[in-house]
Amino acid sequence: MTDDAFAALTTEAFRPELAEIDRQPTLEIARLMNAEDAGVPAAVAAQLPAIAAAIDAIAARMSRGGRLVYAGAGTAGRLGVLDASECPPTFNTPPEQVLGLIAGGPSAMVSSVEGAEDSKALAAADLDELKLTPDDTVVGVAASGRTPYAVGAVEHARALGALTVGVSCNAGSALAAAAEHGIEVVVGPEFLTGSTRLKAGTAQKLVLNMLSTITMIRLGKTYGNLMVDVRASNEKLRARSRRIVALATGAGAEAVEAALAATGGEVKPAILVVLGGVDGPTAARLLADAGGHLRAALASAVR
């Protein structure tokens, strides 16, 4: 990218009215920064139709066994890895179902890998290791919308028949143009010129939260707003599991414990045991027949 093209990006624009923030009292700087951040949700709201369309497309493919893959560099890549890493404990997804690729590999999570973000070929190679299928989705993430790694990932994935989504913070981006679903959350110039870990990073985090969370809702990973596929891997999560079963069923502590014992600690079948009046193995079978959707399994249990 030329210097002129780089300077023309909204995310790189200079804010002359903030040129002397270093002279301000700390509280005033905090107020100014907070005021900047307050506009991010509205910028995301403007893209809700595009976000919803992408989610429906992702969920349709994941329901057939597809994977969700984020690809980005720097802050954008780290946010993708973060979102992917939180899906197994939150939704009990297999580790390979939601993945995050960052230019330069795992070491780039904590240190810069020079030149990695400028390589489309590196993105293609990283995706080829995953052996993409048409049921997979690749989400390229880049504040500028022009990072070669993210654009290259989307271009390569689309050529292989995978669904593609581009998340950026500049209008008219190459990333959105390359993807089937372009999501351009324009948050404006940053508080610190060009520091896209700030408003752009916040916007990307909000969008990725939506993509993964609402996709999981569509896949039946929740019951209402309860995380019924939570993986109880520690005492905090075991306590959360008991609370979720209690909230979903209204059952007392003894009945909740008995239901969880009957289902090996799994929340979703435990709820079905209580509300459907079935045993553990029957609950597991009904859920399998319903594709993991608790409401559909409950309907079958009470017929």
Residues annotated as catalytic are: 86, 117
Measured between alpha carbons, how far is 224 from 230 in angstroms, rounded to an integer?
A: 14
- Three-state SS across 41-103? HHHHHCCHHHHHHHHHHHHHHHCCCCCEEEEECHHHHHHHHHHHHHHHHHHCCCCCCEEEEEC
Which residues 6+ apart lie within 8 Å of 273 measured at CB? 259, 262, 263, 279, 280, 283
Helix runs in 131-266, H state only: 148-159, 174-178, 199-218, 235-249, 253-262
- What Cα–Cα distance (Å) separates residue 157 from each residue in 64, 128, 150, 153, 187? 18, 9, 11, 6, 27
Query: Largest Cα–Cα distance of the chain, in whole Å?
Result: 70
The answer to whether 294 and 271 are in contact (CB under 8 A) is yes
